[in-house]
């Protein structure tokens, strides 16, 4: 009998399809970018002949990894700033900024990113103020942004340029701190940070430079086994995202990932036909429009996540509600009527309550408007971003809703340094409940929130599996029973991600009919000791059956 012809046959592998926990095959047949065969070597060689044969040499293969929540453009912008992420003291951070000042023409802006004062051993978790930045330079306006992106510190020159002086009133949802004599101390939070984004020029405004940086970062992602990302614009921080940027790179053959772009301005989505948003035909390219990003609260690190009761280490505050339930509902309703997905940031338990209530009310409102239940249920799922703190009652309510929780296991590595101080021992037990969520039937996807954390999925998978920091130290009493197994952790970063966009029929597992998006690993991630997960390297990455990276 005539053998069927294939573009590519991968054989002699340990291919984890992720269809179910122990579903492993030896061979994959690929044609036109899609998997047409998944089974044994014998059967593959019997049925098919292939233009190209790839011997996997017994290696472990998993579906391509992804990132369900990051800010790609911001990550590229960060490369043009002074990255303070690795600093372990205030002194070190200031030295980095001084070095930059020496090489920067007077009067030009100096931007620092990713600082985290909770990791500085010489500052007792206290934020720096304008005075420390004035000591760096009084001839450059300097603005540094905390790793959570919710807090900024500016020097005196930067404050002057922004018109922030005595008696300054920030816009609603923002906070400016003042010294005894009424002059700003340089610390701005939440909406107040926008004023600098208005006046500081975008380092990526040169199109050539921007394209090169984007292409290099995408290539780096491909080298980490990544084949998809959901990237979020944040107009508040001038993190513009446009599908066109990615489509242009695609046309030049420089887009090794499938990209879904979320906007935080509804107008940017209204023009797009919703049916194109959630499906992709073959001719549809790799860059897609996603949904609508909304904010309910801030972050735990900067004590602006909205809690039910005051912070353990600052009884004067329960956090900040950026948008209340009513405001969220009216926006969610407008989006839902147009078939546009909503993705809402909620970190504190009070914020999660507001968001869950808003989802319940939005669905009820559509019903009152005469929508059939079937039509309401066919809307894209609601995404809740972070969901870091929950209660039993909130989990019960989420179970009944079409929600996806976009979690960031790498946060765990960072947050553990101060989470008990912020929340206290009892309330801390409601944090980062990944296994509890999964056991309650909730769908979790894994992301990095880059540039907040690195987009490398391996440390995040390690974190989800061990709940230890990168030095192997358990994080003080952080419920080891919430650990995931390796299969669950990998699903977070592969199989589960396309469920959030309704693309699970096309990607996420290595099954017949789906695109051949996959990563070849240098060791068996399923059987090695857990601390070795950090050393796993990717040998080869494929998107739709074509190599996007080979080690």
> What distance in Å separates the CA atoms of residue 136 and residue 479, rounded to the nearest whole number?
42
Whole-prediction pTM value?
0.85
**Reduced to 3 states, what is the DSSP secondary structure of residue 229?**
strand
More confident residue, 203 or 361: 361
Q: Is the pLDDT of residue 272 over 60?
A: no
**Reduced to 3 states, what is the DSSP secondary structure of residue 24?**
strand
SS (H, E, C) 176-196: EEECCCCCEEEEEEEHHHHHH
Closest CA to 260 of 282, 289, 239: 289
Give me the mean pLDDT over the 350-357 stretch.
98
> What distance in Å separates the CA atoms of residue 353 and residue 325, rounded to the nearest whole number?
9
Closest CA to 327 of 369, 298, 362, 377: 362
Cα 66 to Cα 281, 394, 455, distances in angstroms: 20, 28, 9
Provide the pLDDT confidence category of residue 283 given band limits of 50, 70 and 90: very low
Q: Are 269 and 340 contacting, i.e. CB atoms less than 8 angstroms apart? A: yes
SS (H, E, C) 282-337: HHHCCEEEEEEEEECECCCCCCCCCCCCCECCECCCCCCECCCHHHHHHHHHHHHH
> What distance in Å separates the CA atoms of residue 136 and residue 132, rounded to the nearest whole number?
7
Task: Note the pLDDT tens digit of each residue in 140-181.
Answer: 999 999 988 889 999 999 999 999 999 999 988 899 999 999
Q: Please state the separation of Cα 106 from the chain's center in Å.
A: 36
Residue 495: φ, ψ to 5°: -55, -40
Rounded to the nearest integer, the mean pLDDT of the chain is 92
7-21, 132-146, 233-247, 347-361: least confidently modelled range = 233-247
Cα 486 to Cα 375, 442, 491, distances in angstroms: 37, 18, 8
Provide the pLDDT confidence category of residue 224 given band limits of 50, 70 and 90: very high
pLDDT score at 124: 87
pLDDT score at 277: 44
Cα 528 to Cα 26, 226, 520, 534, distances in angstroms: 20, 21, 16, 11
Residue 244: φ, ψ to 5°: -60, -40
Q: Which helix (H) or strand (E) holds 62?
A: strand 60-63
**Reduced to 3 states, what is the DSSP secondary structure of residue 427?**
helix
> What distance in Å separates the CA atoms of residue 448 and residue 75, rounded to the nearest whole number?
11
Q: Are 223 and 549 contacting, i.e. CB atoms less than 8 angstroms apart? A: yes
25-34, 135-144, 160-169, 282-291: least confidently modelled range = 282-291
More confident residue, 451 or 179: 179
155-164, 190-199, 370-379, 526-535: least confidently modelled range = 190-199
SS3 content of the chain, % helix, strand, coil (to 5): 35, 25, 40
Closest CA to 455 of 464, 468, 444, 446: 446
| Bond preceding residue 451 cis, omega within 30 of 0 | yes
pLDDT score at 237: 65
Q: Which helix (H) or strand (E) holds 95?
A: helix 90-103
More confident residue, 37 or 74: 37
Q: Is the pLDDT of residue 290 over 80?
A: yes
- Return the ∠ at Cα 155 (arms to 153 and 158), rounded to 5°: 100
Task: Note the pLDDT tens digit of each residue in 477-515.
Answer: 567 899 999 999 999 999 999 999 999 999 999 999 999
Q: Where are the beta strands (DSSP E) in 437-504?
A: 443-446
Q: Are 265 and 248 contacting, i.e. CB atoms less than 8 angstroms apart? A: no
**Reduced to 3 states, what is the DSSP secondary structure of residue 43?**
helix
Give me the mean pLDDT over the 399-416 stretch.
89
């Amino acid at each position: 009998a005539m053998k069927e012809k294939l573009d590519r046959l991968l054989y002699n592998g340990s291919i984890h399809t992720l269809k179910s926990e122990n579903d492993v095959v030896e061979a994959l047949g690929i044609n036109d970018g899609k998997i047409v065969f998944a089974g044994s070597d014998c059967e593959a060689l019997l049925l098919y002949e292939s233009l190209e044969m790839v011997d996997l040499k017994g290696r472990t293969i998993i579906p391509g990894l992804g990132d369900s929540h990051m800010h790609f453009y911001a990550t590229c912008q960060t490369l043009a700033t002074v990255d303070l992420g690795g600093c372990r003291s205030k002194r070190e951070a200031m030295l980095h900024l001084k070095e930059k000042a020496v090489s920067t023409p007077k009067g030009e802006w100096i931007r620092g990113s990713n600082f985290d004062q909770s990791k500085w051993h010489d500052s007792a978790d206290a934020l720096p103020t304008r005075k420390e930045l004035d000591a760096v330079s009084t001839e450059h306006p300097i603005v540094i942004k905390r790793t959570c992106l919710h807090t900024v510190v500016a020097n005196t020159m930067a404050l002057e340029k922004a018109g922030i002086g005595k008696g300054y009133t920030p816009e609603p949802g923002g906070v400016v701190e003042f010294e005894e004599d009424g002059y700003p101390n340089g610390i701005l939070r939440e909406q107040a940070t926008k004023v600098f984004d208005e006046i500081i020029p975008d380092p990526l405004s040169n199109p050539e430079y921007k394209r090169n940086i984007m292409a290099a970062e995408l290539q780096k992602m491909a080298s980490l086994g990544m084949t998809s990302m959901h990237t979020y614009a944040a107009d508040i921080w001038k993190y513009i995202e446009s599908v066109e940027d990615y489509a242009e790179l695609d046309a030049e053959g420089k887009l090794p990932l499938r990209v879904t772009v979320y906007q935080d301005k509804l107008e940017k989505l209204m023009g797009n036909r919703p049916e194109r948003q959630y499906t992709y035909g073959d001719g549809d390219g790799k860059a897609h429009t996603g949904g609508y990003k909304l904010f309910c609260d801030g972050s735990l690190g900067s004590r602006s996540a909205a809690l039910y009761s005051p912070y353990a280490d600052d009884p004067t505050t329960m956090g900040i509600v950026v948008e209340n339930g009513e405001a969220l509902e009216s926006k969610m309703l407008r989006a839902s009527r147009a078939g546009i997905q909503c993705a809402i940031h909620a970190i504190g338990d009070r914020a999660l309550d507001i968001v869950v209530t808003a989802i319940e009310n939005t669905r009820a409102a559509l019903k009152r408007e005469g929508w059939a239940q079937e039509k309401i249920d066919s809307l894209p799922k609601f995404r809740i971003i972070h969901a870091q703190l929950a209660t039993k009652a909130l989990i019960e309510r989420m179970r009944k809703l079409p929600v996806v929780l976009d979690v960031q296991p790498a946060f765990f590595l960072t947050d553990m340094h101060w989470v008990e101080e912020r929340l206290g021992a009892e309330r801390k037990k409601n944090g980062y409940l990944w296994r509890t969520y999964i056991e309650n039937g909730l769908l979790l996807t894994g992301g990095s929130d880059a540039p907040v954390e690195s987009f490398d999925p391996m440390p995040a998978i390690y974190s989800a599996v061990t709940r230890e920091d990168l030095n192997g130290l358990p994080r003080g009493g952080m419920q080891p029973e919430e650990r995931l197994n390796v299969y669950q952790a990998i699903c977070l970063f592969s199989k589960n991600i396309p469920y959030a966009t309704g693309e699970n029929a096309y990607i996420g597992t290595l099954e017949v009919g789906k695109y051949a998006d996959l990563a070849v690993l240098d060791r068996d991630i399923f059987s090695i000791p857990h601390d070795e997960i950090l050393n796993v390297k990717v040998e080869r990455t494929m998107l739709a059956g074509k190599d996007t990276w080979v080690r």
